[in-house]
Amino acid sequence: MPKSILIIGASGLIGNEVLKLALENKEIGHVTILVRKSLNVNHPKLNEVISDFKNLNDLESKITGDALICCLGTTRKKTPNLEEYKAIDFGLTINIAQLGQKQNFQQVHLISAIGADSNSKIFYNKLKGETEQAIIKINFPQTIIYRPSLLIGKRNEFRLGELIAKKLAPIFDIFLFGSLKKYHSISAKTIAKAVLNRILSEGEKIQVLEFNEIIHLNRNS
């Protein structure tokens, strides 16, 4: 039976790649996206739900499906206030995941980041680690967490530091092997493919996937 998925963060780099691949995949029968403004994508199996996310209870009846994909994220440039930053990356992600659990989603897929650690003194790493822990505690039948390093892909916004890093990545990637392989750059499309492959396959109750595991998942699909 075709799977039904829901994506939050579909306007972002990874979320948009997941959306495009899901609409092309015959084994995905229905796709719902929760967005603040329309992405102007027309497809017979796409349901676009526009919301300001101020009253999530109003969304509960629209949060249905087999797999929930959480790709939400902001930047310090967009959201300099750390409390507001956490309200998006952590608060909104967890609140929607809790609604998903009530609606009997079988899987949740969380895009996190390498270095995620709830005990870290670095705000970003700590926040990602706390989000991972909170997602796991919700206790979905299956929880899959992805920890990419530098993301490769075309964004709708310009980020100078990221652009420089992307130019240098092919050089640094050569020296990343063994335990350092997890810091290897990776394309957003590769992660999106892994998400779709994992939705359509069996696996452990809780999985944390870094570079090697994400590549392996794609090779064995």
* Mean pLDDT confidence for 165-177: 61
Partnered with residue 107 across adjacent β-strands are 67, 142
Q: Among residues of the chain, what percentage have pLDDT more than 90? A: 67
Residues 6+ apart with CB under 8 A from 157: none
Q: Which pLDDT does position 211 carry in this prediction?
A: 93
Q: Is 135 helix (H, G, I), strand (E, B) or coil?
A: helix
Element (H, E) at 158: none
* CA 182 – CA 122 distance, rounded (Å): 19
Q: Which pLDDT does position 179 carry in this prediction?
A: 78
CA torsion through residues 104, 110, 115, 117, sign: negative
Give pLDDT tens digits for 98-120. Answer: 999 999 999 999 999 999 999 99
pTM reported for the whole predicted model: 0.91
- Asked if the structure places residue 106 within a domain, the reply is yes
CATH number for 192: 3.40.50.720
Element (H, E) at 145: strand 142-146
Q: How confident is the model at residue 178 (pLDDT cuts 50, 70, 90)?
A: confident
- Give the mean pLDDT of the chain: 89
Total of domains in the chain: 1
Q: Which pLDDT does position 168 carry in this prediction?
A: 54
Give pLDDT tens digits for 57-103. Answer: 888 888 999 999 999 977 777 788 888 889 989 999 999 999 999 99
Burial class (CB in 10 A: 0-12, 13-18, 19+), 111: buried
**Total residue length of the chain:** 221
Burial class (CB in 10 A: 0-12, 13-18, 19+), 208: middle
- Asked if the structure places residue 70 within a domain, the reply is yes
Identity of the residue numbered 148 = P
Partnered with residue 108 across adjacent β-strands are 68, 143
Q: How confident is the model at residue 122 (pLDDT cuts 50, 70, 90)?
A: very high
Give pLDDT tens digits for 6-40. Answer: 999 999 999 999 999 999 999 999 999 999 999 99
- Asked if the structure places residue 178 within a domain, the reply is no
Rounded alpha-carbon distances, angstroms, from residue 173 to 151, 189, 210: 13, 18, 15
- Asked if the structure places residue 170 within a domain, the reply is no
Q: Is 41 helix (H, G, I), strand (E, B) or coil?
A: coil
Alpha helix positions (H), 2-122: 13-24, 82-86, 93-102
Q: Residue 190: which domain range?
A: 3-157+186-219
Q: Which pLDDT does position 158 carry in this prediction?
A: 47
* Mean pLDDT confidence for 182-195: 91
Element (H, E) at 44: none
First to last CA, the chain: 18
160 pLDDT exceeds 50? no
169 pLDDT exceeds 60? no
Q: Which pLDDT does position 157 carry in this prediction?
A: 56
